[in-house]
Structures are given as C-alpha cells and as structure tokens.
Structure 1
Amino acid sequence: MTDDAYLFLLADTDASLGVPPTAVGELSCMDTPAVRAWLDAQGVAATSPRLRVLPPEETGAIPEHAERLPVPLSDEELNLLRHRTVPEAAARAEEELMAYRDRTDDRDALIGRALAAGVPPHRIVELTGVDPATVTTAAAG
C-alpha cells in the first residue's frame, strides 16, 4: 500500500471505480505542474469522465493497464475522498460521526462555559450523559 492517492484513467466511463476528482472538490494537487503535465500527456482534461481518483488503501483496485499518477492529498482532502467512495448509507453514517466529533471537540470548553453560567455539575451530567469525572476534569481545565 502507498501513502499517496492515485489519479488514473478508466478505459470505460461506465465503470464505477473511484470518483471523479471534481466530485471531491478543489484538490490542491490538480493545479500542480506534475498533474497538469500528466493530463496533457494523456490528452485529457481535468473534467474528463475517464479521470478518477482513489484513496491510498484502494489503489490496488486500479486496473493494471490503466494510466496512473500518485498524488499527495491533505488529510481533509483524503477524508472527503474517502467519504465520496463509500456507499450512500455509509456516507450518511460517516457524516453523523464527523458531526459528533465536531460537537465533542470543544466539549470541555462547553462544560466550562456551562459551569461559569451557573449550571450545576449534576445537571450537566444529566443533560450530556458524560461521566461526572469528565465534568470535574473540565472544570479544572
């Protein structure tokens, strides 16, 4: 397995392997001289329906004969790419997990604000479902 995602060209646009880079959004690698030169050498535009991208863990599925180019993606770009390559039900579950992560990222700050506003610790435990020790830790932090 490689640490790079891969751009590659499908022989058949009906194949469902990978996703078009445009479906992921503005990938920073698409503006690099290496990618532009590769696209020019292949005679395809960045918007070609034959152009696809796969995350590192799935690059083994690229057909052996397919033209390919390794491209580094940022963590955010990789997350978006992985999100676009999973079935719709899994994508919805991933969105819920990311929303949960985003809500819990500043959990201690939120608990601290609630305590400062006068919400008693036992009420924070009731409302959030967090362990009482978590409230105590957040209050100290």
Structure 2
Amino acid sequence: MTDDAYLVLLPGVATALGVPPAAVGDLACMDTPAVQQWLRAQGVTVASPALRLVPPEETAAIPEDAERLPVPLGDEELSRLRQRTAPPEQARLEEELLAYRSCTDGRDALLARALAAGVPAHRIAELTGEDLATVKALTR
C-alpha cells in the first residue's frame, strides 16, 4: 500500500474503483503543473468519466495497464475521498464521528473556563454529561 492517492484513467472499464475527482470537491493537486500535464498527455479533462481518484488503501485494485499518477492529498482531502468511497452506511457513521470530533474539540478548555468562571463542577458535569471526576480532574 502507498501513502498517495492516485488519479487513474480507466477507459471502457465499468468499475466501482475510486470516484470522479469532482465528487471529492476542490483538490489542491488538480491545479498543479504535474497533474495538468498528465491530463493533457492522456487527452482527458477533469470531467472525463474515465478519470477516477483512488484512495491509498485501494491502489492494489488498480489494473496493471491503467494509466496512473500518484497525487498527495491533504488530511481533509483524503478524509473526503475516503468518505466518498465508503459504503453509504459507513459514510453516514463517519459523518457522525466527524461531527462528534468537532463538538468535542476544545472540550477541556471549555470545562476549565467554566470552572474558572465559578460554575460548580457538579453543575458542569450535569450540563455536559461528563463524569464528575473528569471535571474535577481539570482543577488540579
């Protein structure tokens, strides 16, 4: 397995491999000279139905004779790619996990601010659903 995603040209192949790049949204790599030259050399555009973006964990499934180009993706881009290639139920759960992460981001800082403002630990635990011991541990 490689750490790079791949742009792959799969002409005439009916496959569920990867997704069209546009399905992932804006990708920084698509504007690079290397990708632009590769697309021109293949005689395709970003909108070509034969062009697919394949996440690193699926690269072993790329046919040997397929034209391919490794493309580095940022963490956010790779997360979006993986979500788009996941089965629908898994993709929905991944959305929930991302929402959970964004809700809990900065949790300790928020709890500490509440304590510093004088909100009693038991009230913070009651409002947040956090364990009282967890809240009290932030005062140490």
Fold in common (TM above 0.5): yes
**Gaps in structure 2 of 5+ consecutive residues:** none
Query: In the alignment, which residue of structure 1 is the partner of 2:88?
Result: 88
Query: In the alignment, which residue of structure 1 is the partner of 2:110?
Result: 110
Count of aligned residue pairs for this structure pair: 140
SS of residue matched to 1:52: strand
Identity of aligned residues (%): 68
Query: In the alignment, which residue of structure 2 is the partner of 1:3?
Result: 3
Query: In the alignment, which residue of structure 2 is the partner of 1:32?
Result: 32
| 1:117 shift after superposition | 4.3
The equivalences for 1:42-121 within 5 A come to 42-121=42-121
Q: Which amino acid aligns with 1:23?
A: A
| 1:2 shift after superposition | 1.0
Query: In the alignment, which residue of structure 2 is the partner of 1:41?
Result: 41
Q: Within the alignment, does 1:123 sit opposite 2:120 as a pair?
A: no
Tell me the alpha carbon deviations over residues 100-129 of structure 1, each in whole angstroms, 9 at most, x when there is no partner: 111111101221233244432112223333
SS of residue matched to 1:69: strand
| 1:135 shift after superposition | 1.2
Question: Which consecutive segments of 4 or more residues in structure 1 shift more than 4 A?
Answer: none
| 1:10 shift after superposition | 1.3
Q: Greater shift after overlay, 90-99 or 105-114?
A: 105-114
TM-score by length of 1: 0.90
TM-score by length of 2: 0.91
How large is the Cα RMSD of the aligned pairs? 1.6
